[in-house]
Structure 1
Amino acid sequence: MLETIHFYHTNDIHSHFEYWLRSQYFIRNERLSFAKKGEPSFLFDLGDHLDRSNIYTEATLGLGNVRLLNEAGYDVVTIGNNEGITLAFEELFHLYDEANFEVVVANLKAESGENPKWLKPYTILRTKHGTKIGVIGATAFYELFYKELHWDITEPRKEILSLAKKLRKEVDILLCLSHLGITEDELLAQECPELDVIFGAHTHHFLEEGKMVNGVLLTGCGKFGAYTGHLKIQFDHKNREIVCKEEFVIDNALLPEIEGEVEFLEQLSKTGKELMGETLFQTTKSYNKEWFHHSQISRLFAKAILEHTGADCAMFNAGIFLDGLKKGNITRYDIHRILPHPINLCVVELTGRQLKEVYLQAKNEEWSQLELKGLGFRGLIFGKILTYDFSVNKNRELVVRGEVCDLNKTYQLVTLDLFTFGYFFPNFKYAKKKYYLPYFLRDVFIEYCKRHF
């Protein structure tokens, strides 16, 4: 007997719900059609379903996303870094308490005490014909971030390999929900031929028909809910083996529009605004923003982050401010609109010599026009890199807080975590760093303004 099994999968939606209703309507109808033919189907999400730059997600701290997943009938999900490291410990601990689906993450556990009741390394699904399907999940290895948030995270490929060898003897089909990225997926496929399919996410890669590596099928459906994956597997019960595995990608923009899509998005936004409508503080004047020079709001923000961390000097890009700060009552929604990014502060320890090099690198005019996508940045234009409390004088000496610095002395620079990921400032990669989690830029800014206004 040949059994056909269908797997629909989504990844890296990042709270982009423009196509949510039509894609889920399509999937639901497809699954009902398959059920009538006796063909089982399952629905997976591979993480980064939530993104706190979205008003609804921010207002509900991701619980609204879980409600959407419940309503859509998901069977199994794993978490991405947006679930894992943009929520405080307690918020993630209880995120999936009301989930009607299973959550599999093999490489995460609480630093101390009990794990959340929803957290498991794998699950085993069964079809009505008795086919056993093992599903392992794992998320990206952001060790320093998870440690600051009181989670223990382990190297994902190692955990998957160990589980795959164990489960291969127990199941007919073995799948991995991977929020590791395409490079890690390819390495995993080479190391772990026990897996039949690796459903891929994190790096937003797009594999229209999948990619076969060492006999393992890899998938990838881009980002922001633009595509949905459909994997079809045929299992031969007589010989107990897979005889066919095919991946198709559905372009959600081409699906028929569903009545009420606009109203659905408006309602999510309205709910978010209402939940974040409380007044936090009052200002007696407005603070302008500029993307290519210093501004009133950038100066205020610099004071906030220097006070919060006690660092010697500060550096950030002007494009983080999507709007200025108005005069009058300021709500949580107002601040989120100005600073929507899931970005944290980081204090980097540098010698005076290294700090001077950073200052000179920051003067790269090309960066100001950069249209950055990712790294937590949710703005439009990267903007000029602004420096506070350090500069180079006319004698080309580095001055920190009004004094010529000692090139061999160590200084503390507070900056954005996105600058520490290696793309902009190589010196940061191996420097001693402290990340300030779970506070986002907006949280630090709010607390400063509440104290000083």
Structure 2
Amino acid sequence: MKKTIHIYHTNDLHSHFENWPRIAHFIKERRRLHDEAGEYSFAFDIGDHVDRAHPLTEGTLGTYNIDLLNESQFHAVAIGNNEGITMPREALNRLYEHASFPVVCANLFEKNGETRPDWLVPHTFFQAGDTTIAVTSATAQYTAFYELLDWCVTLPVDELKKQIAMLKKRADIVIVLSHLGMYDDEKLAEETEADVILGGHTHHVFHEGKMVNGTLLAAAGKYGYFAGHVELDLDVESGRVVAKRARVFETNRSLKPPQDEQEQQERIEERGRQALSVPVVHLDKPIESHWFDPSPLPQMLTEALTDWCQADCSFLNAGVVLGHLPAGNVTKYDLHKLLPHPINPCLIELTGAELSEVLRQTRDEKWPHLQVKGLGFRGSVMGRFVYDRIKMNGPHFLINGEAIELKKTYKLATLDMFTYGHYFVELHRARSKRYFMPEFLRDLMEWKLLQQ
């Protein structure tokens, strides 16, 4: 005789609330059917549910996301990098105050590297009849960013190995909520005896799961496009898992909408607008922005970047500015729509030779229409590069009106996404980088407008 345990999982919603009504309705109906059949079911979120690119997440600093997870009766959640490093420290400490579920992460500690915040546990247990299920988790190791917010994050795979080895002695089934990405999940499966790894972070999808060394890997993509379902068949007499299956349901095709889906979506948008309706400044005339031609808003933001970081010069891409500012009262909602990205300012020290090479690369004609995804960017294309205190005279560059000196050290302010290795090697390899956190670009724009 066998019994089946059902596990539903979501990951990397990134506050795409337009898909949540169907997912919540789906999980509720499935649970009802399992209860009627006398079966056990659980629901877990694998992190990055929170994304401050949505006005309602920004306006509530993520607590609305937690309300949604509470309402859907999730059993446990993991922390993603969006919860961990886009939230100010005090906001993360308050985020889960009213959570009705445990928050699990084995590799996040207080600054001392020894104690965990009181809202966090390294593992937790659930019962499915006489079957004990242990759940542990870890988040991606963005060490420099966590340190700036006075957190300590340790090696995730090492922490999980210790947790899994210990939990295998105390539980019948060990499940990992991994916000590490597909490759680390595969490595973990090769090197441990975890029963199931529910994955996220790299936005991958395993349509029917993936077996690695006897461990079932499952993942449901991003933005709520899918909801995941894992089934574990147990032999009742021995208590051993005899079969594992995974699948995903495509939200727009496979999940039925609740009757009030449109009303829910409209309420979310309106609540987001209201939450950020705080006036910031009054403009006598509109300020425009263009991605491919010179315009005042991107230039203002570039100048703000120089001043905020106390840099010698700065540059950014016009594509980060997603619209215009209207005449009249400008609210925090307007600034959020303009600059929704969780992108931080960064100050980098470069030699004149290194800076010259980076600036030379920014003149490449490929940039303006290049489509950009990830790294905090929430727009669509790169747009033209915009400079402050930088002039170009043919192949030569001037910084503050003076010819660049190849051996001199310069302080360049730019966007943190340009330091991640995908764009400019010199910025990625620079030894001296200072990230300004938790300030986002919209905070700098507000500061600049108030100055003027």
* Fold-level similarity (TM above 0.5): yes
> Which structure 2 residues correspond to residues 70-109 of structure 1 after superposition, within 5 A?
70-109=70-109
Letter in structure 2 aligned against 1:124: F
> Which structure 2 residues correspond to residues 294-443 of structure 1 after superposition, within 5 A?
294-394=294-394, 396-431=395-430, 432-443=432-443
For the 8 Å contact 1:97–1:117, the answer to whether it is kept is no
SS in 2 for 1:250: strand
Separation in 1, partners of 2:400, 2:293: 20
Report the RMSD for the aligned CA atoms in angstroms: 1.3
For the 8 Å contact 1:352–1:398, the answer to whether it is kept is no
> Which structure 2 residues correspond to residues 42-441 of structure 1 after superposition, within 5 A?
42-112=42-112, 115-128=116-129, 130-192=130-192, 194-254=193-253, 255-394=255-394, 396-431=395-430, 432-441=432-441
Separation in 1, partners of 2:215, 2:116: 31
Separation in 2, partners of 1:325, 1:23: 35
> Shift of residue 22 of structure 1?
1.8
> Shift of residue 392 of structure 1?
3.3
Unaligned runs of 5+ in 1: none
For the 8 Å contact 2:44–2:76, the answer to whether it is kept is yes
Separation in 2, partners of 1:205, 1:442: 30
For the 8 Å contact 1:34–1:41, the answer to whether it is kept is yes
Letter in structure 2 aligned against 1:293: D
Find out whether 1:446 has 2:446 as its counterpart: yes
Unaligned runs of 5+ in 2: none
Letter in structure 2 aligned against 1:116: P
> Shift of residue 102 of structure 1?
1.0
Could you state the TM-score of these two structures normalised by the residue count of structure 1? 0.97
> Shift of residue 114 of structure 1?
6.5
Instruction: Report the counterpart of residue 11 of structure 1 in structure 2.
Output: 11
> Shift of residue 325 of structure 1?
1.9
Separation in 2, partners of 1:19, 1:43: 17
Aligned residue pairs total 449
Q: Residues 377-406 of structure 1, C-alpha deviation per residue, up to 9 Å, x if partnerless?
A: 111222112222223323x33211111121
Separation in 2, partners of 1:214, 1:4: 22
Q: Residues 57-110 of structure 1, C-alpha deviation per residue, up to 9 Å, x if partnerless?
A: 111110000001000110010011111111100000110010001110111012
> Shift of residue 191 of structure 1?
1.7
For the 8 Å contact 1:94–1:116, the answer to whether it is kept is no
Separation in 1, partners of 2:294, 2:190: 50
Letter in structure 2 aligned against 1:227: F
> Shift of residue 271 of structure 1?
1.1
For the 8 Å contact 1:347–1:413, the answer to whether it is kept is yes
For the 8 Å contact 1:138–1:179, the answer to whether it is kept is yes
**Greater Cα shift, 108-117 or 182-191:** 108-117
Separation in 1, partners of 2:367, 2:163: 44
**Superposition misfits of 4+ residues, deviation over 6 angstroms:** none
Report percent identity of matched pairs: 43
**Greater Cα shift, 292-301 or 352-361:** 292-301
Separation in 1, partners of 2:427, 2:155: 23
For the 8 Å contact 1:22–1:252, the answer to whether it is kept is yes
SS in 1 for 2:203: coil
Q: Residues 314-372 of structure 1, C-alpha deviation per residue, up to 9 Å, x if partnerless?
A: 11111011111222211101100110111101111111000000001111222211221
SS in 2 for 1:207: coil
**Greater Cα shift, 370-379 or 353-362:** 370-379
Separation in 1, partners of 2:244, 2:317: 47
Could you state the TM-score of these two structures normalised by the residue count of structure 2? 0.97
For the 8 Å contact 2:131–2:239, the answer to whether it is kept is no
